[in-house]
Amino acid sequence: MNSLLITGGRVIDPASGGDAIADVLIRDGRIESIGTGLNATDVTVLHAEGAIVAPGFIDMHVHLREPGFEHAETIESGAKAAAAGGFTTICCMPNTQPINDSATVTSYIVQRAREIAKVNVFPIGAITKGSLGVELAAIGSMREAGIVAISDDGRPVMNARVMRRAMELARALDILVIDHCEDLDLSAGGDMHEGIQSVRLGLHGIPSAAEDVMVARDLLLAELTGARYHVAHLSTSNAVTMVAFAKTRGLPVTCEVTPHHFAITDEELSGYDSNYKMKPPLRCRHDAEAVIEGIVNGTVDAIATDHAPHPGSEKMQEFERCPFGITGLETAIGLSLAELVHKDKIGLMRFVELFTTGPANVLKLDRGTLAPGAPADVTVFDLNSEWTYDVQQSYSKSRNSPFHGRRFRGGPLATIVGGKIAWTKD
Amino acid sequence: MSPGSLLDLESLNRTEIETILTRARFFQPLPKQSYKRFETLRGKMIVNLFFEASTRTRVSFEIAARRLGAETVSIAAQTSSTSKGESLVDTLNTLVAMRPDAIVMRHSASGAPHFLSRHLQIPIVNAGDGTHEHPTQGLLDALTIMDRRMDRESPLEGIRVAIIGDIAHSRVARSNVHLLSRFGADIVLCGPPSLLPRELEHLAPGVRLAYDLPEAIRDADVIMMLRVQLERQHEAPMAAGEYFRFYGLRLEHLALAKPDVIVMHPGPINRGRELSSEVADSQRSVILNQVENGVAVRMAVLERIWA
């Protein structure tokens, strides 16, 4: 008998709307019951008094770098970082080497994750072969092998006709299409957000319009095809407005935002520190505020990290030569609490929703809830413990975070995956 | 950042700039004389590390160093190990292990000296970084303007300076804007729209933009022409052949400016591309004075490292 009893925490479950002090009993990898004064013999007890007990957090946008770039991250190390960040489920983007554009690569990731990952890992398959934007990838076979969505993240499909065909197929297969919205002609040569800061620093800019143009195109194609369509790491004011508009028209359109896009702006990019370089770039204050407004008003469905590890050797270069991307799994809860909850933008129920039922509904996963019978994925976090992020202690194989040394109030305490404790603080 | 470094003018205050300019004035030679030799930096080894081709700036820094008694080594990085795939940090670490006293560097990447100064404990003087800043050029331009206005108590206060050309990609323009703005100049930036991003207006107080050359130079005390930097442009800002017609400075334009207007150019000049030959050679041109002042300013900047 494999049982775990989480006692005395404030249990918040957006799926049922529950918010009360209770115990959670887990048996054989599933939620058995929630209630007060639960007792069971032969159980491991996890004390959660004073903490929040929530469904396991889902990060629907990470890069695990395996296969192909194991010096930057592996399925094992990325999953450890996820667990330490309070995530029980992560979805990994297909831009590995080889690209995850076939059932073979998908099966490898699924198998490897089963063997070694501390959290659930669901692969996302490529839209086009090699993510080259020309021919459709083996989407049907990948779906059978276990992908939960398709995306050419980082190398968006520029050809609208190809995107249309992908969406048509995705609709038939009932699989989500995720797009990294970037018009590559408008963004070409850019290293940061185009604005006063890029002009000041003499760096080439990426205009917000590079994202907006693509979001607009995709929303029109989603309407044309009826596909379930999701905007990855949405970062601009116009994109928030357009997604909200598409939703009012009843389109099956969703979006995610990253903590870094609402926590920091291009104003913080000084000293040419490549840990502030990512795509989409850190936008201006106006955009960051619009993203938060989108979270508050319900336009945003999920918070995702876009965890993008790069080894030091790649980030220790002139700004314009460094690759795009920062790590994010271990700082997501701390940053989101700081910017959203502690600043009274949203309540805890909405906060938990953005990490649980939000992404679960987008992906149609049977997770993100504490309903009896559901997989026993649980995230325990608190609101008040003071801690400082030390990137040198990260479980990730990479160190490219702009949040090294940042002080946080509240963060993950324990991560339970399939009824087993995957990580606890200290 | 090691003390004594000079990475950009944006981070210097007015007093710091005045101190450098006053010292540079001290180093200026009398007419028809060469620069005096000093022993201030005797025993210092300064490495000039140029990752981008440059003749005038490199030679100017070398002469400045030697006039102060320092030893110099100049490296054109195209011929060094960076072409073998070594990273910038490794190249610099190798150099620093040979214990020079300071590094003067030019690099095609904006912020390259700022990036290095966070990782190396050695004074760095920026001799131009990408499209960001060229601080010694900004200083020598200010000195050149002041030379013509010595009769005034604050020679830069309220003067009208028109900077014409590829502002977007110009490190010279940025350094000049930051310096001139500190001293209360009126600055008009002018060029075709794709080379004149609207955000430039907020770069510093006293800056405005113009897309029309005659409007920009009306009543100007100083006209600074910038080199058209084709190597930094992804695409042509306007149809070929139209640039000189709309943004090239010609003699007839000078009548719009103040009678004692001076025409400046950081060099190397492209006659017939951004300014006509007649303007370059006219009495109003102070292009060679700028070059001359470069040595004085760089002496002051190098001396300042150990001040």
pLDDT-based confidence at A315, cuts 50/70/90? confident
Joined tokens for residue B78: 């195209």
- Do the bridges between strand A176-179 and strand A149-151 make them parallel or antiparallel, or are there none, so unpaired? parallel
Which superfamily does CATH assign the domain made up of A3-52+375-389+407-424 to? Answer: Urease, subunit C, domain 1 (2.30.40.10)
- Each residue's pLDDT tens digit, A244-261: 999 999 999 999 999 999
Which residues, in sequence order, are CB contacts of A255 under 8 Å at separation 6+? A230, A231, A232, A234, A239, A240, A243, A294, A299, A300, A301, A302
Cα separation values, B263 from A166, A412, B109, B211, B268, Å: 59, 63, 29, 19, 14
According to DSSP H, which parts of A316-392 are helical?
A: 332-336, 348-355, 357-363
The larger pLDDT score, comparing residue B85 to residue A137, is at A137
Taking an 8 Å cut-off on Cβ atoms, the answer to whether B203 and A200 are in contact is yes
Strand partners, A256: A302
Quote the pLDDT of residue A168.
98
Helices vs. strands in chain A: H and E counts, helices first: 14, 18
Please judge whether A273 and B200 are an interchain contact, meaning their C-beta atoms are less than 8 angstroms apart: no
- List C-alpha distances in Å: A242 to A155, A216, A229, A381, B103: 22, 7, 13, 34, 51
User: Between chains, do B110 and A319 touch, taking CB under 8 Å as contact?
Assistant: yes
Tell whether B110 lies on the interface with A, counting CB pairs under 8 A. Answer: yes
Report how far residue B250's alpha carbon sits from residue B267's, in angstroms, rounded to the nearest whole number.
17
Give the one of B89, B118, B131 whose C-beta lies nearest to A202's C-beta. Answer: B131
Closest CA to B226 of B239, B235, B213, B215: B213
Domain spans in chain A, listed from the N-terminal domain onward? 3-52+375-389+407-424, 56-363
The fraction of chain A above a pLDDT of 70, given in percent, is: 100
Q: Is A306 labeled as catalytic in the residue annotation?
A: yes
Looking at the DSSP bridge assignments, the partners of residue B209 are: B189
Least Cα distance to B103 among B145, B74, B140 occurs for B74
Nearest Cα neighbor of A416 from A93, A75, A111, A44 is A44
Q: Do B119 and A316 touch (CB under 8 A)?
A: yes
| B133 lies within 8 A of chain A by CB | yes
DSSP annotation of A358 reads H
Determine which one of A153, A306, A377, A382 is catalytic: A306
CA distance A314 to B149: 50
Query: Could you tell me the CATH superfamily of domain B14-132+291-305?
Result: Aspartate/ornithine carbamoyltransferase (3.40.50.1370)
The pLDDT assigned to A143 comes to 98
Q: Residue B230 has what pLDDT?
A: 62
| Dist. CA A308–CA B248, nearest whole Å | 47
CATH numeric code, A56-363:
3.20.20.140
A200 vs B10: CB contact, 8 Å cut-off? yes
Query: Which of residues 172 through 211 in chain B touch A, CB cutoff 8 A?
Result: 174, 197, 199-200, 202-203
Rounded Cα distance between B60 and B70, Å, is 14
Task: Provide CATH code, domain B149-285.
Answer: 3.40.50.1370
Span of A267-276, A293-302, B223-232 with lowest mean pLDDT: B223-232
Beta bridge partners of A136: A128
**Cα distances (Å, whole numbers) of residue B223 to A105, A406, B245, B254:** 62, 47, 17, 9
Task: Give me the amino acid identity at B260.
Answer: D
User: Read out DSSP for A117-131?
Assistant: -SSEEEE-B-SBGGG
Q: How far is A121 from chain B (nearest CA, A)?
A: 35
**Is residue A66 predicted with pLDDT exceeding 90?**
yes
**What is the pLDDT at residue B234?**
61
Give the separation between CA B21 and CA B27, rounded to whole angstroms: 10
Nearest of A125, A124, A57, A127 to residue A86 by alpha carbon: A57
Q: Which of B86, B87, B134, B207 to mutate to test the interface with A (most CBs of A within 10 A)?
A: B87
- Average pLDDT rounded to a whole number, residues A132-141: 98
Per-residue pLDDT of chain B (307 residues; tens, 9 = 90+): 889 999 999 999 999 999 999 999 999 998 888 899 999 999 999 999 999 988 899 999 999 999 999 999 999 877 555 666 788 888 899 999 999 999 999 999 999 999 999 989 999 999 999 999 999 999 999 999 999 998 888 999 999 999 999 999 999 999 999 999 999 999 999 999 989 999 999 999 999 999 999 999 999 999 999 988 765 566 777 777 788 899 999 999 999 999 999 999 999 998 988 999 999 999 999 999 999 999 999 999 999 999 8
As for the ipTM of the complex, it is: 0.94
Residue with tokens 């070929």: B240
Nearest Cα to Cα of residue A52 among A329, A419, A417, A415: A415
Is the predicted pLDDT of residue A44 greater than 60, yes or no? yes
Would you say residue A384 has pLDDT above 70? yes
Contact A136, A169 (CB under 8 A): yes
Burial of A321 (0-12, 13-18, 19+ CB in 10 A): middle
Instruction: State residue A122's pLDDT score.
Output: 98
For chain A, what is the mean pLDDT? 97
The minimal CB distance from B111 to the residues A199, A205, A319 is found for A319
Question: What is residue A407's DSSP assignment?
Answer: E
B115 touching chain A per CB within 8 A: yes
Select from B109, B199, B203 the Cβ nearest to the Cβ of A321. Answer: B109
- Return the pLDDT at B83: 62
- CA-CA distance, A190 to A200, in Å (whole number)? 14
State the average pLDDT over residues A370-376: 97
The DSSP code sequence of A55-114 is EPEEEEEE---TTT-TTT--HHHHHHHHHHTTEEEEEE-S-SSS-S-SHHHHHHHHHHHH
Average pLDDT over residues A101-124: 98
Tokens of B127: 């001799």
CB-CB under 8 Å, B114 with A272: yes
| DSSP string covering B6-50 | B--STT--HHHHHHHHHHHHHHPPPTT-PPPP--TTTT-EEEEEE
In A129-207, where does DSSP find H-type helix? 139-145, 160-173, 184-187, 196-201
**Considering only CA atoms, which of A71, A41, A146, A148 is closest in space to residue A104?**
A146
pLDDT at A236: 98
In CATH terms, are A3-52+375-389+407-424 and A56-363 the same topology? Answer: no
Phi-psi region of A233 (alpha: psi -120 to 50; beta: other; left: phi over 0): left
Residue type, A407: R
What confidence score (pLDDT) does residue B241 get?
A: 77
Question: CA-CA distance, A382 to B208, in Å (whole number)?
Answer: 51
> In the numeric block, which tokens belong to residue A397?
């194989």
Rounded Cα distance, B239 and B149, in Å: 39
Q: Please determine, for residue A128, whether its predicted confidence score (pLDDT) is greater than 80.
A: yes
Any A CB within 8 A of B88 CB: yes
- Predicted confidence (pLDDT) at residue A37 exceeds the cutoff of 80: yes
Written as six digits, the tokens of A139 are 């989407």
Instruction: Report the gap between the CA of B107 and the closest CA in chain A (Å).
Output: 10
Q: What is the pLDDT of residue B79?
A: 55
Residue A243 has pLDDT above 70, yes or no: yes
Whether B149-285 and B14-132+291-305 are alike in CATH topology: the answer is yes
pLDDT band at A1 (very low <50, low <70, confident <90, very high): low
Neighbours of B42 (CB within 10 A): 10
Q: How many Å lie between the alpha carbon of A254 and the closest alpha carbon of chain B?
A: 33
User: At A270, is the pLDDT very low, low, confident or very high (cuts 50, 70, 90)?
Assistant: confident
Residue A281 structure tokens: 């770039």
Check CB contact under 8 Å for B174 and A202. Answer: yes
Residues of A in contact with B89 (CB under 8 A): 316-317
What pLDDT is recorded for position B233?
60
* Residue B150, SS3 per DSSP: coil
Contacts of A272 in chain B (CB under 8 A): 110-112, 114-115
Map out the domains of chain B as residue ranges.
Answer: 14-132+291-305, 149-285
Q: What are the φ and ψ backbone dihedral angles of A415, each rounded to 5 degrees?
A: -130, 125
